[in-house]
Structure 1
Amino acid sequence: MNPTENSKKSAGYAAAGYVQSGMVVGLGTGSTVKYALEMIAKRIKNEGLDILGIPTSEATAGLAMKLGIPLSTLDEHPVLDMAIDGADEVDPGFNLIKGGGGAHTREKIVATASKRFIVVVDKGKVVGKLGDFGIPIEVLPFGAGLVKRKIEGLGGTVKQRNNTSDNGNMLMDARMEIRNPAELEDLLNSIPGVIENGIFAHRRPEVVIVGDGAGVVVIEREDGK
């Protein structure tokens, strides 16, 4: 296992340790979260851990079912005890860019519905400022042209992905300077046709677990900051 993959595994396994019996847990999407799911499944088998998972993507739902993690829905459990998810970038203010896998709309819904949001990343995802990764955007196909023009009018460039979201919508990636993550999150979402973008500035994680090869570093956000 290469160092980056080992870091992801360490972070994912550490996050699984926060899960307790009786919890309803949001299950994120991505290569780091899969390790959290693996450890949760091991704890279900070995410790009798009793939880329900709310998946943020069809891929996560499939993996969870394969691993034997019981699943439910937001309709049945509108308030979650915690969500565990990955990120493409994390800045010093706990702002995130998510959506490399195209699941950011469901991920943001689940994170917002959760009392506690835990993000797992390898150290390469920790940045001084958001923006190098680009901003994933889920777009209603009917409004794609308008969305592209509006973002270009803001000084950004847009590239359309070949795949669609689990919701059946178009996915784009916008590259532009992110001076104020919260303001840009709101501005992008105000464009007609934008369903959701991958900036997480209004729902930031309470805990970020960083795998660094030698173990993990756990960073907790102070309340109200």
Structure 2
Amino acid sequence: MTAELSPTDIAKFVASRRAADFVEDGMRVGLGTGSTAAWLVKYLGRRVRDEGLKIRAVPTSTRTAELARQVGIEVISLDEAGWLDLTIDGADEFDPKLNLIKGGGGAHLQEKIVASASDQMIVIADAAKDVATLGAFPLPLEVLRFGGASTRTLVERVLAEMDVDGRETSLRMAGDAPFITDEGNHVLDLHLKRIGDAKALSLALNQIPGVVENGLFLGICDKVVIGFEDGRAELRDGASGEVSVTEVDLTEAAGL
């Protein structure tokens, strides 16, 4: 089975499988968006079917909601849940302090709301997402469609005053048309290369009229699980600084 998967897919499954150990019966769980999170949703669906696991899930996108329902997971809204025990999601980058860049899939607004309404957030990722400094991955910025050109101008003016190595911005496209988020907004991708002060940048961007939310997740993530293609799963705890490594049975990926 694993011979049919790429090394990256194996690593994503390993991280997802290890993080699934934190999901307990009766929990209200936030489910992230993206290729790594999809492995988690599929595995939790198997547990629901085979073990009778009972959870209520709040997905962070319509894509995740559709997949969760397909595999038999009960889907509820965040308002129905009230508060979540745990959110598990992927990331496009994470640094040594477990600060993140998210939004490569364009769902970072819902992802940030869900993660912030959780007792704990666990990020699942492959080793390529582990960086010394955030910024190589373009920072997503969800913006209103109304006045989009002026909002972009204001963003570029703010970037001129920030400690970053790049200041190019681009409107995210879906084919020949602008990409539209679940909330009906556009996404600007900020090509910054290096972010010197993520907190200052986040605060400055969110003060711009027309900006809905940025993809910097600062002080939100509690743990990161890094998957490796050989079956190792490395767990990093942000609070204690502890690092532990376990082995995942790769045959469990069969049928997902």
Tell me which interval the TM-score lies in, with the shorter structure as reference length. over 0.9
**Residue of structure 1 equivalent to 2:176:** none
**Residue of structure 1 equivalent to 2:71:** 67
Q: CA deviation at 1:169?
A: 0.4
> Which of these two proteins has the greater Rg computed from alpha carbons?
2
**Residue of structure 2 equivalent to 1:55:** 59
Give, as a single letter, the amino acid of the residue that structure 2 aligns with 1:185.
Answer: S
**Residue of structure 2 equivalent to 1:166:** 182
8 Å CA contact 1:8, 1:211 repeated in 2: yes
Give, as a single letter, the amino acid of the residue that structure 2 aligns with 1:164.
Answer: I
Distance 1:189 1:202 in 2: 16
Give, as a single letter, the amino acid of the residue that structure 2 aligns with 1:79.
Answer: W
8 Å CA contact 1:143, 1:192 repeated in 2: no
**Residue of structure 1 equivalent to 2:144:** 140
**Residue of structure 1 equivalent to 2:204:** 187
Which moves more between the two structures, 185-194 or 143-152? 143-152
Give, as a single letter, the amino acid of the residue that structure 2 aligns with 1:217.
Answer: E
**Residue of structure 1 equivalent to 2:134:** 130
8 Å CA contact 1:57, 1:166 repeated in 2: yes
* Aligned positions of 1:87-126 closer than 5 A: 87-126=91-130
Give, as a single letter, the amino acid of the residue that structure 2 aligns with 1:199.
Answer: L
Q: CA deviation at 1:39?
A: 1.2
The CA RMSD measured in Å over matched residues stands at: 1.3
Q: CA deviation at 1:147?
A: 2.2
8 Å CA contact 1:87, 1:98 repeated in 2: yes
Q: CA deviation at 1:223?
A: 6.2
TM-score, normalised by the number of residues in structure 2: 0.85
Q: CA deviation at 1:167?
A: 0.6
* Deviation by residue 1:38-91 (Cα, 9 ceiling, x = unmatched): 111111111111100000000000000111110111111121000000000001
Q: 1:202 to 1:187 in 2, by over 3 A?
A: farther
**Residue of structure 2 equivalent to 1:11:** 15
State which of 196, 205, 208 in structure 1 corresponds to 2:213: 196
Which moves more between the two structures, 10-19 or 151-160? 151-160
Q: CA deviation at 1:174?
A: 0.7
**Residue of structure 2 equivalent to 1:222:** 239
**Residue of structure 2 equivalent to 1:23:** 27
Distance 1:93 1:39 in 2: 28
8 Å CA contact 1:16, 1:37 repeated in 2: no
* Deviation by residue 1:103-140 (Cα, 9 ceiling, x = unmatched): 00000000000000000000001011100111001100
Distance 2:6 2:155 in 1: 38
Q: CA deviation at 1:151?
A: 2.2
Give, as a single letter, the amino acid of the residue that structure 1 aligns with 2:200.
Answer: E
Q: Give the total of aligned pairs.
A: 223
8 Å CA contact 1:121, 1:209 repeated in 2: yes
8 Å CA contact 2:140, 2:187 repeated in 1: yes
For structure 1, the residue ranges without an aligned partner over 5 or more in a row are none
8 Å CA contact 1:97, 1:199 repeated in 2: yes
What secondary structure is seen at the aligned counterpart in 2 of 1:76? helix
For structure 2, the residue ranges without an aligned partner over 5 or more in a row are 161-166, 174-178, 242-256
* Deviation by residue 1:161-220 (Cα, 9 ceiling, x = unmatched): 1211011101110122411112211111111100001000142x1110001212210001
Identity of aligned residues (%): 43
8 Å CA contact 2:98, 2:219 repeated in 1: no
Give, as a single letter, the amino acid of the residue that structure 2 aligns with 1:166.
Answer: D
